[in-house]
Structures are given as C-alpha cells and as structure tokens.
C-alpha cells in the first residue's frame, strides 16, 4: 500500500476542506493564566477499554465514556475557560453555548495520540495548543493507500475541524518531547 507524505507547507493537495488554523490564537499572558489554572485540576490517565494511555485528561460539560460508548453530563465548564470557549466558537462560526463539551489533555514527555476521528456524537471541533508545539498529522484513505498531511501546531495556536476534515480525515499527534496541554472544544450533534 503506497502512502504519500506531504507537509501542509509544500505544494500539493490543499488543506482538507473544513480545516482551519490560526497561530497566536491567544496571547502569552492568556496562555500563562490558563496553564496556571490547569495545574490545579484533577487530571486522570486516559482510559480506553481497560487500557491506560500516557496522556491525562479531564472533561467538562459532557464526558464520553470509551468503556460504555456513552456520552454523559459532567461538571459545568469552569468559568476561567468561558472566554476561551467564546473565542473558539467564533473561530468555527458557532455561538459559545453551542460548544457544550471541553476536553483538557495533558501530554507529558513521550505521550501522543494515535490515529482517530472524534466520535460521531460530536460535530465541530476546536483545539487550542498550549506550552509546546507539536505535529498534527492528518490522513485519509484513498484507492491507492493514504493521503497524508502534517501541520505544526505552535503554542497558543488553534485549529478547527468541520466538514470533510472532520468526517473523512483521521488525525493524530506523535509523542511529544516536552509537556504540552490541549484544550479541545466540541459541539454535540443533535439527532
């Protein structure tokens, strides 16, 4: 099976439809204030059907349980994240109240996340990268293997996934060398 790896900065296929990226989404002072608050939160190891991942997570608003494949209500989104939620919603053309879920992820050195699509119960996705840059990889299956693209997510940047980038492409982040936080806002799809 052939694969072709392109950087999003090279000539080649354009970014997937619905993928958006903005560097300097928040200021260094905003990042510092958010990260200070994150240090006080009760993160726990990511659990997937009995497997514990290297990354640590915490959800607000709603929480997806990967052991039961169910979405459940959980604690309200903390007040210190509400201004960021408003900005994230504007980034993907939603009202702040439409981003009902936030997943906080702490990636320690050596932690990453494998290829996946966010669960179908979620619609639009906005991720904010904090502290350390990472590589954000995208791929989709073609008749000849996989089409692959990569984007460097700088600290304080944001990416948005909607449309085809959300439904046709998988994404992953290879293991990071230094501590990194991700704040991922999602809206819940209504049946």
Q: How far is 75 from 63, CA to CA, in rounded Å?
A: 9
pLDDT at position 18, please?
A: 95
By mean pLDDT, which of 39-53, 69-83, 93-107, 117-131 is the weakest? 39-53
The model's pTM: 0.89
pLDDT band, residue 120 (cuts 50/70/90): confident
Estimate the share of the chain in helix, then strand, then coil, as percent rounded to the nearest 5: 15, 45, 40
Residue whose C-alpha is closest to residue 55's, from 66, 38, 64, 43: 43
pLDDT at position 21, please?
A: 97
**Quick one: fold of 2-8+15-124+134-188?**
Jelly Rolls (2.60.120)
87 DSSP 8-state letter: H
Asked if 73 and 152 touch (Cβ cutoff 8 Å), the reply is no
Which residues are within 8 A (CB) of 87 and not within 5 positions of it... i.e. 6 or more apart?
25, 26
pLDDT at position 50, please?
A: 67
Q: Residue 34: which region, alpha, beta or left (left: phi > 0; alpha: psi -120 to 50)?
A: alpha
């Amino acid at each position: 099976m052939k694969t072709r790896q392109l950087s999003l900065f090279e000539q080649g296929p354009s970014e997937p439809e619905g993928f958006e990226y903005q560097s300097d989404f928040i200021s260094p002072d905003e990042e510092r204030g958010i990260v200070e608050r994150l240090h006080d939160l009760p993160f726990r190891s990511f659990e997937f059907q009995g497997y514990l991942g290297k990354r640590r997570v915490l959800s607000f608003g709603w929480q997806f349980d990967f052991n039961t494949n169910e979405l459940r209500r959980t604690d309200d989104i903390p007040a210190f994240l509400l201004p960021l939620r408003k900005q994230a919603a504007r980034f993907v053309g939603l009202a702040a109240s439409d981003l009902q879920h936030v997943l906080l992820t702490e990636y320690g050195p050596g932690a990453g996340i494998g290829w996946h699509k966010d669960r179908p119960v979620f619609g639009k996705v906005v991720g904010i990268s904090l502290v350390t840059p990472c590589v954000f990889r995208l791929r989709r299956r073609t008749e000849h293997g996989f089409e692959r693209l990569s984007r460097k997510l700088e600290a304080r940047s944001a990416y948005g996934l909607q449309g085809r980038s959300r439904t046709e492409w998988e994404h992953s982040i290879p293991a990071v060398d230094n501590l990194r936080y991700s704040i991922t806002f999602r809206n819940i799809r209504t049946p």
